[in-house]
Amino acid sequence: LNDNPSHYKVTLSGTVKSPKINFDPPFVMLMPVPLDVKTETTINIIPQDFLRKSQIQVELPELELEDGDRIYPFSVQFPEGKSIVISSDGTNKELICHISFRSSRPVSFLGNMFFIDEEAN
């Protein structure tokens, strides 16, 4: 500056962290029950590296029975809400999720439930 050419070099470095969700327990096995009786369990959803508030959505599996009928025997509830919130120390608060199953028809299922955020992650 002022006829004194100086060069300044600035180096920036950083780490990109993608938001992710962990589960406790990591998988669920619901006990066999008589027809039309509900079985349920509770899981903790542990969000990590979310930088802004987000909502969790759940894609529940549709089951096809032997006769071709389709049913949705699973349901989920979030008793404390399904918003991922950032606390004052920068961490994300865990969410509680109740998963239940009830069917009036005999069925067995092994598969996935998808928990996604607003950006479909």
Mean pLDDT of 52-65: 90
Mean pLDDT of 79-101: 91
User: Residue 26's pLDDT is what?
Assistant: 92
Ordered domains of the chain (ranges, CATH): 20-116 (2.60.40)
Mean pLDDT of 22-34: 92
- Nearest Cα to Cα of residue 114 among 68, 54, 69, 74: 74
| Residues 95 and 84 sit within 8 Å (Cβ to Cβ) | yes
What tokens appear for 70 in the block? 């389709």
3-state helix, strand, coil in the chain (%, to 5): 0, 35, 65
Could you tell me the pTM of the whole model? 0.78
